[in-house]
Amino acid sequence: MKFAIINDIHIGDYRPHKGIYRKATPHAEKLLRNFVQKMNNSFMPDFVVQGGDMVEEINLSVDKKNYKKGLAILSKLNCPVYHLVGNHELKYLSIKYLKEALKYKKLYFNVDCKNFRFIFLFTKRFYPSKEIKLDFSQLKWLKKKVNTDKKIIIFSHHSLVPVNTRGNFWFSGRPDLTFIKNHSQFLNTIAGKNVKLVFNGHLHWNKRVVVNGIHYITVQSLVENTSGKIEGPPANAFTLVSLNDNFVSIKTTGRGSKDYKIKI
Ligand SMILES: [Fe+2]
Ligand SMILES: [Fe+2]
């Protein structure tokens, strides 16, 4: 079985942060189209995960337009695509709008396939506050969903566990903006269950932490300019995952690519 993750696409304005054009946003749409082609013509995954931050927020009408653009490009995939919502979607777009655009009843859900249960969580950033959380009803739902003999793989936009952000361009001074505040509740909910692997985006780098034997893998943004130049090329990163009942192999492509092989 195979799936791919593409995250932090950031369709929208090109602007500097701390003097660097760190998100190479002018490349976003083209790279997304190339990704769709590669998936359809060569990798041929069973599904694709869009990991959130599909837009770079500007204002309500532009964000709606850019969000629809991203959805239109991804709709050309020959396989299902499952969408996570990132913080950049939540700045101007409402939850009601996002549900309608995605045709989702809820922004968290699960998909069962063969021996696996894939769980997609909504790590909500509560603008204008800086708090990121899984809300109570979602945790209650999760508690039921982890009650299964299937092997569980979880996806979220923000990290579900605390991470060390030292050296991260975006969050080195603000680790609290990268992971959910109620991570202890999350860890209690999945304790002793069949969770094998967790993926998230948001931090715009490749990193892994292991908590209670579970690998939490942060994957790189499609458009991150890691070249060290003020204006440089995008990482062109996305993640290819192949799995069987015993092993998962993970390859994050592009600049600064990473490979992992994990026993599950
Ligand atoms: Fe992002
Ligand atoms: Fe984000």
Global pTM value: 0.97
Given this model, what pLDDT does residue 105 score? 98
Residue 213 alpha carbon to ligand 2 centre in Å: 25
Q: What domains does the chain contain, in order, with CATH numbers?
A: 2-263 (3.60.21.10)
Q: How far apart are CA 31 and CA 231, in angstroms?
A: 17
- pLDDT above 90 as % of the chain: 98
Q: Length of the chain in residues, anyone?
A: 264
Given this model, what pLDDT does residue 176 score? 95
Q: How far apart are CA 64 and CA 34, in angstroms?
A: 22
Q: Does 127 score more than 90 pLDDT? A: no
Residue 114 alpha carbon to ligand 2 centre in Å: 31
Which pLDDT band holds residue 70 (cuts at 50, 70, 90)? very high
Residue 55 alpha carbon to ligand 1 centre in Å: 9
Given this model, what pLDDT does residue 190 score? 98
Residue 34 alpha carbon to ligand 1 centre in Å: 19
* HSE, side-chain direction, 13 A CA sphere, residue 239: 28
Which pLDDT band holds residue 129 (cuts at 50, 70, 90)? confident
Task: Name the average pLDDT for the chain.
Answer: 97
Note if the bond before 234 is cis, omega within 30 degrees: no
What residue has token string 């903006």?
A: 177
Which run of H or of E encompasses 242?
A: strand 239-243
Mean pLDDT along residues 172-186: 96
Q: How far apart are CA 144 and CA 131, in angstroms?
A: 25
Q: Does 161 score more than 90 pLDDT? A: yes
Given this model, what pLDDT does residue 128 score? 82
Q: Considering every ligand atom shown, identify the ligand nearest to the alpha carbon of residue 89 and give its number.
A: 2
Which pLDDT band holds residue 133 (cuts at 50, 70, 90)? very high
Q: Does 135 score more than 90 pLDDT? A: yes
Given this model, what pLDDT does residue 126 score? 80
Residue 2 alpha carbon to ligand 2 centre in Å: 25
Contact 253, 220 (CB under 8 A): no
Residue 31 alpha carbon to ligand 2 centre in Å: 19
Q: Does 257 score more than 90 pLDDT? A: yes
Residue 149 alpha carbon to ligand 2 centre in Å: 32
Tens digit of each residue's pLDDT (9 = 90 or more) over 23-50? 999 999 999 999 999 999 999 999 999 9
Which pLDDT band holds residue 137 (cuts at 50, 70, 90)? very high
Mean pLDDT along residues 153-173: 97
The torsion angle over the Cα atoms of residues 196, 252, 98 and 10, rounded to 10 degrees, is 150
